[in-house]
C-alpha cells in the first residue's frame, strides 16, 4: 500500500515536471527559453545531491553539467537535450494532459526523458549500491541541429566514463534503437551578381543556376540500396522575377551505415561544390553507431531488468541520429533510447505515454543497480 501511494505521488510529480518544462519554449535558437528551462531542470536535480552542478557555455550553446563521486570505480554518463524543433512562432506551444498521454512540444523528445533520467537516478541514489558508481549528467541545447557546439564537451565526458545512457524517446511500442546511421549536414552557398533582368542582364551573374546544377548532381549520390541517403532539405535564393539573383543557398544532409561511405559521399559533395565554384560548410558530422558487442551485452542486461519488472525490451536499427552516435564513436557502450515511449515527435501531435514515465524510471533505476552490483559487468576502457 505504502509503495503504491509513493509511486502515484512520484508519477504526479513527474507529470507536473513534464508539463512545466514542455510549456517553456526551448527551440534551439530560443536562448532565453533554454536558460529558463535549464534553471528549472537544475532545481529538480537538487535531490541528487551532486558534488558539482554548473551551467556551461560551449560557443552560444548553454548546457547543464552535474557530477558525483568522481572517485568511484564505475563511471556512468547520463545525458539528454533540452532543445526542441518548435520555434517561438510555431502554433504548437502548450501541453495538454489526457487520460493516458501527455501531448505537447518536446514531451517525448525529450523533456519526459529528462524527467525519467532524474527520477531514476534519485531512486538509485537512495539505494545502498549507489556508492559503487559515480556519474556525470550533461543536458545540451543544440542537439536538434546536430550538436555543433556541444559535441566536443560530450566527447570529454565520454573519456571519463565507462558507459553512456541517453534518454531519447523509445518508439511508441517501446522498441529501443540499437544501430543508427551516421549523419552529416552541409550548407552550400552560391554568390552571384545582382542586376536588372532586362536592362542590365549582361552585368549580372545568376547565383541560382550553379546551385541547381549541384543539386541535380547531388541526387545521384542518393543510394538507398547501399545504405546511403542524401536529402536536399531546403533551398533559398533570389528576390523577384525581374532581378538576377545574387545569392542562393541550400542545405544537404547525408546519412550512411558506414563511416567510409559517409566520408566518400561528403568528398563527392565537396568536389561538386568546387566544380560549380560554390562555398560549402559542414555544420555537423555524427559517425554511424553500429551495434557493437559491448552495447549488445548492455542491451541484453537491460532486457533482463525488463523481464524482472514485466517490461518487454526489444530493439532495432534506424536512420535517425542523436548524441548516442558521438558517444559510441568514443568507444563506450551506449544505450540512447531509455526515455519515455511516445510518438509523432517533431510534429504538432507529439505525445508521450504516461505509463512509460513510471516504467522507464523503475527500469533505469534497476539497471543502474545491476551495473553497480556488477551483475551487469561493464568493461572499463578508461586508462
Ligand atoms: Zn531528441
Q: Which of 15, 29, 26, 51 is nearest to 139 (CA)?
A: 26
Residue 123: count other Cβ atoms within 10 Å of its Cβ: 18
CA–centroid distance, residue 207 to ligand 1 (Å): 35
pLDDT tier at 1, thresholds 50, 70, 90 = very low
CA–centroid distance, residue 383 to ligand 1 (Å): 31
Asked whether 130 and 305 are in contact (CB, 8 A), the reply is no
- Over residues 316-343, mean pLDDT: 94
Q: Is the dihedral of CA 287, 293, 298, 304 positive or negative?
A: positive
CA–centroid distance, residue 110 to ligand 1 (Å): 5
- pLDDT for 381 beyond 80: no
**CA–CA separation, 140 vs 46, rounded Å?**
18
CA–centroid distance, residue 86 to ligand 1 (Å): 12
Q: What is the pLDDT of residues 198-211, one digit of tens each?
A: 999 999 999 999 99
**CA–CA separation, 84 vs 108, rounded Å?**
10
Give every CB contact of residue 209 below 8 A, 6+ residues apart in sequence: none
Bridge-based pairing of strands 133-140 and 61-68 is antiparallel
CA–centroid distance, residue 14 to ligand 1 (Å): 19
Q: What is the pLDDT of residues 234-286, one digit of tens each?
A: 999 999 999 999 999 999 999 999 999 999 999 999 999 999 999 999 999 99
CA–centroid distance, residue 222 to ligand 1 (Å): 25
Bridge-based pairing of strands 163-166 and 74-81 is parallel
CA–centroid distance, residue 335 to ligand 1 (Å): 14
Dihedral Cα 253, 257, 258, 264, nearest 10 deg: -30
CA–centroid distance, residue 95 to ligand 1 (Å): 17
Q: What is the pLDDT of residues 106-120, one digit of tens each?
A: 999 999 999 999 999
Half-sphere exposure of 383 (CA within 13 A, CB side): 0
- 130-152 as b/e: b if 16+ CB within 10 A: bebbbbbbbbbbbbbbbbbbbbe
Per-residue confidence (pLDDT) for residue 320, from 0 to 100: 87
Q: What is the pLDDT of residues 333-354, one digit of tens each?
A: 999 999 999 999 999 999 999 9
Asked whether 348 and 91 are in contact (CB, 8 A), the reply is yes
Per-residue confidence (pLDDT) for residue 5, from 0 to 100: 81
CA–centroid distance, residue 291 to ligand 1 (Å): 19
- Over residues 350-359, mean pLDDT: 97
Provide DSSP, 164-207. Answer: EEEBPPBPTTSPEEEEE-EEEEEEEEEE-B-EETTTTGGG-B-S
Distance of CA 233 to the CA centre of its chain: 19
Q: Which of 187, 212, 184 is nearest to 279 (CA)?
A: 187
**CA–CA separation, 195 vs 292, rounded Å?**
56
Distance of CA 358 to the CA centre of its chain: 22
Per-residue confidence (pLDDT) for residue 4, from 0 to 100: 77
Per-residue confidence (pLDDT) for residue 378, from 0 to 100: 86
CA–centroid distance, residue 20 to ligand 1 (Å): 18
Instruction: Output the pTM of the full model.
Output: 0.89
- Grid coordinates 546511403 are at which residue? 228
CA–centroid distance, residue 311 to ligand 1 (Å): 22
Per-residue confidence (pLDDT) for residue 383, from 0 to 100: 58
CA–centroid distance, residue 344 to ligand 1 (Å): 12
- pLDDT for 324 beyond 90: yes
Per-residue confidence (pLDDT) for residue 382, from 0 to 100: 67
Q: What is the mean pLDDT of the chain?
A: 95
- Over residues 196-225, mean pLDDT: 97
CA–centroid distance, residue 25 to ligand 1 (Å): 15
Q: What is the pLDDT of residues 41-97, one digit of tens each?
A: 999 999 999 999 999 999 999 999 999 999 999 999 999 999 999 999 999 999 999
Per-residue confidence (pLDDT) for residue 7, from 0 to 100: 84
Q: Which helix (H) or strand (E) holds 291?
A: none
Asked whether 213 and 220 are in contact (CB, 8 A), the reply is no
**CA–CA separation, 351 vs 348, rounded Å?**
9
CA–centroid distance, residue 303 to ligand 1 (Å): 22
Amino acid at each position: 500500500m505504502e509503495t503504491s501511494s509513493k509511486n502515484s505521488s512520484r508519477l504526479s510529480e513527474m507529470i507536473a515536471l513534464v508539463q512545466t518544462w514542455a510549456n517553456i519554449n526551448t527551440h534551439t535558437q530560443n536562448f532565453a527559453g533554454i536558460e529558463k528551462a535549464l534553471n528549472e531542470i537544475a532545481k529538480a536535480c537538487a535531490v541528487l545531491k551532486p558534488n558539482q552542478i554548473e551551467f556551461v557555455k560551449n560557443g552560444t550553446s548553454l548546457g547543464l553539467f552535474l557530477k558525483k563521486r568522481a572517485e568511484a570505480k564505475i563511471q556512468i554518463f547520463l545525458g539528454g537535450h533540452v532543445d526542441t524543433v518548435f520555434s517561438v512562432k510555431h502554433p504548437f506551444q502548450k501541453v495538454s494532459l489526457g487520460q493516458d498521454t501527455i501531448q505537447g512540444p518536446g514531451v517525448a523528445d525529450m523533456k519526459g526523458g529528462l524527467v525519467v533520467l532524474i527520477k531514476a537516478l534519485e531512486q538509485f541514489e537512495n539505494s545502498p549500491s549507489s556508492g559503487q558508481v559515480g556519474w556525470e549528467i550533461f543536458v545540451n541545447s543544440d542537439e536538434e541541429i546536430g550538436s555543433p557546439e556541444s559535441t566536443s564537451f560530450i566527447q570529454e565526458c565520454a573519456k571519463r566514463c565507462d558507459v553512456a545512457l541517453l534518454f531519447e524517446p523509445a518508439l511508441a511500442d517501446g522498441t529501443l534503437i540499437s544501430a543508427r546511421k551516421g549523419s552529416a549536414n552541409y550548407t552550400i552557398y552560391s554568390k552571384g551578381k545582382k542586376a536588372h533582368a532586362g536592362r542590365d542582364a549582361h552585368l549580372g551573374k545568376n547565383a541560382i543556376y550553379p546551385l541547381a546544377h549541384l543539386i541535380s548532381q547531388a541526387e545521384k549520390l542518393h543510394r538507398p540500396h547501399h545504405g546511403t541517403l542524401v536529402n536536399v532539405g531546403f533551398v533559398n535564393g533570389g528576390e523577384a522575377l525581374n532581378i538576377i539573383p545574387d545569392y542562393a543557398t541550400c542545405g544537404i544532409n547525408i546519412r550512411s551505415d558506414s563511416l567510409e561511405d559517409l566520408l566518400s559521399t561528403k568528398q563527392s559533395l565537396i568536389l561538386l561544390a568546387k566544380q560549380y565554384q560554390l562555398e560549402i560548410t559542414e555544420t555537423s558530422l555524427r559517425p554511424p553507431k553500429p551495434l557493437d558487442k559491448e552495447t549488445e551485452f548492455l542491451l541484453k542486461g537491460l532486457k533482463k531488468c525488463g523481464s524482472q519488472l514485466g517490461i518487454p525490451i526489444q530493439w532495432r536499427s534506424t536512420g535517425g541520429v542523436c548524441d548516442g552516435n558521438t558517444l559510441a564513436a568514443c568507444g563506450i557502450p551506449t544505450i540512447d533510447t531509455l526515455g519515455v515511449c511516445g510518438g509523432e515527435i517533431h510534429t504538432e501531435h507529439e505525445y508521450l505515454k504516461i505509463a512509460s514515465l513510471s516504467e522507464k524510471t523503475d527500469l533505469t533505476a534497476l539497471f543502474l543497480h545491476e551495473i553497480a552490483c556488477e551483475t551487469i559487468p561493464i568493461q572499463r576502457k578508461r586508462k
